[in-house]
Every structure is written in C-alpha cells, then in structure tokens.
Amino acid sequence: MITQAKEKSPLEKAVLAIPRGKVFSCRDLHIQMNDATLRQGLKRLVDKGIIRRTQRGYFERPVYSKFLQENLGTDMVKMAQSIARNNKWTIAPSGNTALNMLGLSTQVPAKWTFVSDGPYKKYNINGIQLEFKHRANRNVSGMSPKTLLVIHALKSLTAEQTTPEVLDKIKSRLTLSEKKKLLEEAIYISRRNLHSIRKICEDTCTP
C-alpha cells in the first residue's frame, strides 16, 4: 500500500521558498498566523533541521558544503541586513568589514561592524560579534548600498593606505552606473576622500 506524502503546511512552504543562506525574521514570512502558533511552527522546523536559529527571532536555511560535509556558518552580512530590515534601519559596513567586502582585506573580521541610523546594538552570533554603531542620518541615509560601502571603506584607510593600487581595486568592483551614483551621492565626505572618489570614477564620469 502506497502511503501518500503529508502535504506541507503554509509555513513550511513559505520557509522552503526562501533561498538558502538568507537570514529571515517572522516579519519576512507574511504568514497570517498568531505569534504563539508561528513560534511553535518555526521551532518544529528547527527541530527537523530545515532551518536553524541564528539569534532570537531570526532564522536561516543553512547552506550545506559537500566539500566540508557540514553546514556553513551564518553569513554575517546577511545577518546584519536581516536585523536592519526587521528594525527599518539603514546600515553600512564599517572599518575592516567594509574593507573585507571590497576585497581590500583578506582577513575575516573577528568583529563585524556596521554604522546605522538606529541605536547602538551588539549581538553574539555563534561566538562572532556583530556590532551596530549609531551615526547621524546624513552618514547612512539616502545613499545606495555600494556608495555607502565605498565611502566607509575609504574612511577606514589612512592617506598612506589610499594608494593608486587600492583605488584601482575599488574601481574594478564598480559598474558604470555605480560610479555615477557614487559621485552624485558623496556629498558630505571629506575633501581627501572626495579626491579619492574622483580618482575612482575619472575614467567614466565627469565630477
């Protein structure tokens, strides 16, 4: 006798539609379900290994590595983006985090740092620190993500570190439209870093 497979619940269907590696909160699911039932449903999916909890109220569909034969760790950038999305913050990578994301540093940050127009917050994600530092709105709002990334990477570099080779590397990471936006949006940056931005964009854009 053939046993018919049990139909997946609306919650499980919604979770399985989320790409692997993406961190999500309850607000991302858009499920009409009371909080207690939703929490119980998510706990069952955690127990079944379909998702894992990264922080209270946050989950992800883990990415399995055939090479390592285990699930990969949480993507800290996606974790930060999920927290920001859930709280309606605008964030930007800062310091070594920004340098790492632009390929200017090969070291994996021991602490992932973002500036935010929200309050100061610190999280511990499986032993890795995730920190949000409050900054004035003009430093994080009204700019595209790539512009924010470049600006805060340049802010973390000294004048001696801002070499032509570094600027060329940043330039190689930007599309034509991203360079145009960078010039348009870099209004409040310092004179030194504005000069660097003009160097990054000089082959395709007129300041």
Q: Given a cut of 60, is residue 177 above it in pLDDT?
A: yes
Could you report the per-residue pLDDT of 68-101, keeping only the tens digit for each? 999 999 999 999 999 999 999 999 999 999 999 9
Please give the Cα distance from 159 to 156 (Å, whole number): 10
**Residues 133 and 65: beta-carbon distance below 8 Å:** no
Query: Cα(153)–Cα(146) distance, rounded to whole angstroms?
Result: 11
Q: How many residues does the chain have?
A: 207
Number of H-type helices and E-type strands within the chain? 9, 9
Strands 111-116 and 91-93: antiparallel
Strand partners, 70: 65
pTM above 0.75, yes or no: yes
The CATH number of domain 10-71, selected from 1.10.1740, 3.30.565, 1.10.10, 1.10.3470? 1.10.10
Residue-wise pLDDT tens digits, 145-173: 999 999 999 999 999 999 999 999 999 99
**Quick one: angle between helices 176-185 and 145-155, nearest 10?**
70
Domain boundaries, the chain: 10-71, 76-201
Q: What is the pLDDT of residue 166?
A: 95
Q: Are strands 58-60 and 52-55 parallel, antiparallel or unpaired?
A: antiparallel
Residue type, 137: N
**Token couple for 33:** 């379900």
- The C-alpha angle 71, 76, 80, rounded to 5 degrees, equals 135
Q: What is the mean pLDDT of the chain?
A: 89
